[in-house]
Structure 1
Amino acid sequence: MSVRVLIADDEAMIRAGIRAILDNDDGIEVVAEAADGAEAVDLVRRHRPAVVLLDIRMPRRDGLSAAAEIRRVMPETGVLMLTTFGEDEYIVKAIAAGAAGFLLKSSDPRELTAAIRAVAAGAAYLSPRVAHRVITELAGPRLGTGAQARSRVEALTDREREVLALVGEGLSNAEIGRRLFLVEGTVKAYVSSLLSRLGVRNRVQAAIVAYEAGLV
């Protein structure tokens, strides 16, 4: 079954370029395109895609506001933010809004499809080209220092730490289950527990804590 995707970007050429890449992948179906955040929210309600690609800065309603609304009304839709260098402050806000991943617009096409599949599978995705900046320059001051992260992780059980490390690697629940020989439902329970115990809202924030604590 194909991964249903919605593309939201105010630049027509960007939308066309992304669609051209995705149309060449038999496992991905572009169900709609939006030119602004307000239209993206409406189309997500109508088409119920598995993943929405959201440009951070758009007219009428920006990607941050749209991401928060999509997570509220369609929590089963994964939000993958499209960003450029120089938008660090928006990335932090997008994490808080519940985005599941971040991808540079200049990324390799193979990374685009990999990110879509990861988010569709319920995993967090940080582009390797922005992950280090997010973790070292942005996450630390907001989610805690390395020492604070290690202290928080120490409160977890051994199994929860194993699961957290794999969340930090960007694995989905199914992939974690195969790695640890657990059923997917059990992994989901572990992830829910560790999110609560770490005091984070989503897998991206959990992955950052894993990085800060040295688990990844």
Structure 2
Amino acid sequence: MPITIVIAEDQRLFRQSLRLLLEHERDLIVVGEAMDGRQAFDLAVAHKPGIVLMDVDMPRLDGITATRLIRSCVPESKVLMLSVHDDDARIVAAVQAGACGYILKDADHQEFLRIIRATDKGEPVRSPFMPDGFAKQAVALVNKQEELSGGGLSLLTDREHEMLACAAAGRSNKEIADQLCVSLDTVKTHLHHIYQKLRVSGRVEAVLTYLQSR
């Protein structure tokens, strides 16, 4: 059965070149191309591809946040991150978001195809182009997640829960301030504290954490 793929890459030339490479393979079918993270999420929901090739640096919605959303809403789709970066922090962030692997863009095409096929089969993959510190950082990440398993939303105050519920309902900072009869600066301060307690990078991840707990 062919492996269906969505390519999420904002650089048109690289995205089209990647599509040409994949479509030369009989067992690979590209079902969609995304120019930003939001479009990548929409295509993943629509097509439920076997693999999403996701660039880390995407407009509108960054690749790591888009990956987290896809893995939450379309768990059957596996995500492989693409990037020119080779720092451990990005790799660990991608794994934390639910990515199955991480390929640097200077990988040769045979290695690229091997990782796609191995990922589809559920085999553990590690590109030889990844930094040596990957395994150590990934283990540290797992330990950190286990340590935090009893925390998260339970660390929030009642007011912070109210703020997060409003954000999850799609209200802007101004609308939250009006509804709770507080200043805009107070809302921003509370949200900043929420992000710190949940150990997330921003609003989208905080809202996702809240929704997953419901």
TM range (shorter): 0.5 to 0.7
CA–CA distance in structure 1, aligned partners of residues 104 and 5 of structure 2: 17
Structure 1 contact 101–126 (Cα < 8 Å) conserved: yes
| Structure 2: runs of 5+ lacking an equivalent | 144-214
Say if 1:38 and 1:53 are closer, same or farther in 2 by CA, change over 3 A: same
**Larger radius of gyration, structure 1 or 2?**
2
The Cα of 1:91 is off from its aligned counterpart by 1.1
Relative to structure 1, is the Cα distance of residues 135 and 12 closer, same or farther in structure 2, using a 3 angstrom cutoff?
A: same
Deviation at 1:37, TM superposition (A): 0.7
Aligned length: 143
The Cα shift of 1:23 comes to 1.0
Residues 1:81 and 1:106: Cα distance change in structure 2 (over 3 Å) = same
- Residue 32 of structure 1: aligned partner: 32
**One-letter identity of the residue aligned with 2:85:** F
1:3 is aligned to 3
Residues 1:76 and 2:76 aligned together: yes
Measure how far apart 1:86 and its partner are: 4.0
Distance 2:9 2:93 in 1: 18
**What is the TM-score with the length of structure 2 in the denominator?**
0.63
**How far, CA to CA, are the matches of 2:70 and 2:80 in structure 1?**
11
- C-alpha RMSD of matched pairs (Å): 1.6
Cα offset, 1:134, TM superposition:
1.2
Amino acid at match of 2:125: Y
In the superposition, relative to structure 1, how do residues 142 and 44 fare at CA in structure 2: closer, same or farther (>3 Å)?
Answer: closer
In structure 2, the residue matched to 1:66 is 66
**CA distance, structure 1, for counterparts of residue 62 and residue 17 of structure 2:** 21
Question: Which structure would you say has the larger RCO, counting Cα contacts within 8 Å and 6 or more residues apart?
Answer: 1
Q: TM-score, normalised by structure 1?
A: 0.62
Give the equivalent residue in structure 1 for 2:49.
49
| Matched position secondary structure for 2:94 | helix
Q: Secondary structure at the match of 1:129?
A: coil
Partner in structure 1 of residue 176 of structure 2:
none
Deviations 1:87-109 (A, max 9, x none): 43221111111110111111111
After superposing on structure 2, the runs of 4+ consecutive aligned residues of structure 1 that deviate more than 6 Å are none
Equivalent residue of 1:132, what SS?
Answer: coil
CA contact (8 A) 1:100 1:123 kept: no
1:8, 1:16 → 2: CA distance?
Answer: 11
Identity of aligned residues (%): 38
Aligned AA (1:110): Q
Counterpart of 1:117 in structure 2 is 117
Cα drift, residue 140 of structure 1 = 5.9
Q: CA deviation at 1:141?
A: 5.0
2-side partners of 1:79 and 1:139: how far apart?
Answer: 16
SS of 1:126 mapped into structure 2: coil
**1:78 and 1:122 in contact (8 A); partners too:** no
Q: Distance in 2 between matches of 1:124 and 1:103?
A: 13
